[in-house]
Amino acid sequence: MEITGLEASGRARYLASVGLVHNGFSDYHEEIELIVADEDKAVSYARITGTHDGDLMGRPPTGRKMDVRTMGILRSRTVRWPSDGVSATP
């Protein structure tokens, strides 16, 4: 998907997307409610809140609040998640 401001790929694209969201929602807050990890994958369930008070990819601020639940899946070829899901050592 082509999005202005997200021309990069990988980690650089992810960091750019974080910047765009924080620009649009200055009070952005993400609270992770659950993480499940096994082998090379982790799944997270989170609650995201904020107020659309800045430009968001060309869309002017609306002043509307958001409160959404999200789910994400992360896969890593180099990191092994700890069996207790809490701490890891390099």
Residue 52 is part of a domain; what is its CATH number?
3.10.450.50
Note the pLDDT of residue 85: 53
pLDDT for the residue numbered 69:
96
Q: pTM for the complete prediction?
A: 0.69
Which of the listed ranges 63-67, 72-76, 83-87 does the model predict with the highest average pLDDT? Answer: 63-67
4-57 pLDDT tens trace:
767 777 778 888 888 889 999 999 999 999 999 887 888 999 999 999 999 988
Is position 16 within any domain? no
Give the pair of three-digit tokens for residue 3. Answer: 């999005």
Assess if residue 69 is contained within a domain.
yes
Q: Determine the Cα–Cα distance for residues 31 and 52; give it in Å rounded to an integer.
A: 18
Mean pLDDT for the stretch of residues 59-70? 96
pLDDT top residue among 85 and 38: 38
Nearest partner of 63 among 14, 13, 26, 8, judged by Cα: 26
Count the neighbouring beta carbons within 10 Å of the beta carbon of residue 56: 15
Count of all residues that appear for the chain in the document:
90
Q: Is 88 inside any structural domain?
A: no
Domain that holds residue 45: 29-80
The answer to whether position 86 is within a domain reads: no
Domains contained in the chain, number: 1
Is residue 45 domain-resident? yes
